[in-house]
Amino acid sequence: MGYTKEKAIAGEIEIPMAFTVRDLDRGTTEEVTVVHYVQFPSKKIREQHDQESVKVKGRKIKTQLTSANWNMWLRVINRVDGYDDLNETESADKAKLQEYFGGDVERIHVDECINRLNEMISADDAEVEKKLEPSSEESSGARQTKTRIPVTK
């Protein structure tokens, strides 16, 4: 399968994540799945994320990934699913989502979402690059084929 614009990742992307939760009332621990639905980040948003994730101070490079992830998440989030303490309206309200995910524990969900999104984008880019790279035979010139273009007069 080759690359086509229709098949490329675009539009809304579903990012499912599993987290362990403890039910204190029942004394149980279980794994629950939540889903963040995000817009495919534009080139500008991805570049801003890259710039925000690293801070250079003198000769030292400091990563600020959580802050960069938060800013990117705010730009791309559409809605979430699987959070029992958010009703359907709140799960798609950017102001409510910003308030809900502003805490330390919830920021883990934001970081995980953006990390998975970036991995997905990188994997897709790698597939495209892999298909564009010439094989070792082609680059060494060992196997050359000539394309004949008919000339009409």
- Tell me the pLDDT tens digit for each residue of 108-128: 999 999 999 999 888 654 554
The pLDDT score that the predictor gives to residue 145 is: 43
Among 16-20, 90-94, 123-127, name the one with the lowest average pLDDT.
Answer: 123-127
The pLDDT score that the predictor gives to residue 113 is: 96
User: How distant, in Å, are the alpha carbons of 42, 76, 151 from that of 38?
Assistant: 12, 5, 50
Q: By the 8 A CB rule, do 3 and 125 touch?
A: no
The pLDDT score that the predictor gives to residue 144 is: 47
The pLDDT score that the predictor gives to residue 17 is: 96
Q: Which residues contact 133 (CB under 8 A, 6 or more apart)?
A: none
The pLDDT score that the predictor gives to residue 147 is: 43
High-pLDDT (> 70) share of the chain, %: 67
Instruction: Please give the residue that has the higher pLDDT: either 120 or 64.
Output: 120
Residue-averaged pLDDT of the chain: 80
The pLDDT score that the predictor gives to residue 107 is: 92
